[in-house]
Structure 1
Amino acid sequence: MSDQFFMPRHEQRALVELLRKVPDLVEDLAISITRQDRLTRGGPRVSTGERVQPLPFNEMASDVADELHQELTRWAWHVCEARGLVYEGANATVSIARWLDRNIVSLAMTEGAESALGEIQDVFDRARRATDAPAVRVRPIDAHRHAAARSTELHRDGIARAARELGEQYAGLTAERVNTLRRRGAIHAVRCLVATKAEIFILGEVLDAHLEHQTRKRAAS
């Protein structure tokens, strides 16, 4: 330890750089979690009540997304307990990563911090590999995993990217389509990113609104 730090300054800088990549990684994981197997058009299907629709699920991406969240949470609580701090952010991976970024000095001065960079880097790298790997297997999902996929929070561009992977029925779900659904009151943003002012929506709500509007339009015709 030097300068009262358990984590040297060059590792602090490296960890901050890593933490600032977490938002993009989380979005990529969300896309991977809901990615459809390109090899099958009639793959696993789940019932949403009146209709049945494909909703594939990348289990590896989901599992490592949970691991990333748990790892960052573990370090945030470790700092809070050791330094007498109070975490007041949201229980979301991106929020926790930003908190650790802002409190990097407190983390560096906390006993045990010498392993933080390596352990977070390990989970981060596995998460990155999960987003790069093709979905070689798509399997039916249970209710819990179904809800996890549909409850993913994305901005309009992320939703448009996800829609391109979810089959022909979502072909028209572009970023502008998301804006149109919002203006009509069919969907509502759950929050807004302060830095970019981008509105964040729940993927499942947007998917349902998109299909429902198409059904109404065909009925009217």
Structure 2
Amino acid sequence: MNNDHDTSGLFLDRYGQRRLTEALVTIEAHLEDLADTLTRRAVIGRRDLASFRRPKKLRAKAPAHEGAQEFAAKLENTLTTAVRHTCETRGMDYMPVGYTHRPAFVGPLQADEKRIPVGYDDRALSVLTRWLRVHVITFAMTEGCVEWADEIEGFAHDITAMVDLPPDDTINVDDVKVAAAYKQVVTLSTIDTVAHKLGEMGEGLNARRMRTLINQGKLKADSVDHASGTKFYLLGDVLTAHGKHQRRQRAS
């Protein structure tokens, strides 16, 4: 990652911001899997064409996964430290994205204001990753951000290996979970990892194929992070476009 301090006042350039944003998206996409691994709730099933997310089997006293616990603790420490240092350096008060006031605030709220609910965990991993995504430019202007960005990229790379699901296995799911999985967000930099876990559904799907679908106008982004230029796609849209592409190839 480029760690030069350029004339724009950024310690982390736009390419680095894009990589960081995509790393944060990858982490967010696997937090539920990590939670499963922490309690070993996942139950791996046989291969099936319509299966790629694990069913949950909750146990009253599920044994902890020590490796995942250590990973989660280190990830939380890195994210918390990065957010705290950014706020302190830039003179900001930490406020979770989507909220404007602390739970103790008693005054009337304006139409565009929102109080943090009592009991809300503002240090949850999903809350911290979202804060960094939204404030990526502010983070990029903070000295020391390059080292934290590198660490976060490392966590994004390792989290897929940390979850219970082996890379070459697929998992049986019901229609509800399939629908939920189709709403998962992917990027050009994360599709290879996700496709590898889809079994037969992901055959032939990779960043190169996804880029081809985009260039041909067969796949459109669901949203864009304008600060970094990162484009986000729904997994369901990617799979639909990929399936049509395969059928066209077989017919030709």
**TM superposition score normalised by structure 2:** 0.44
The structure where helix makes up a greater share of residues is: 1
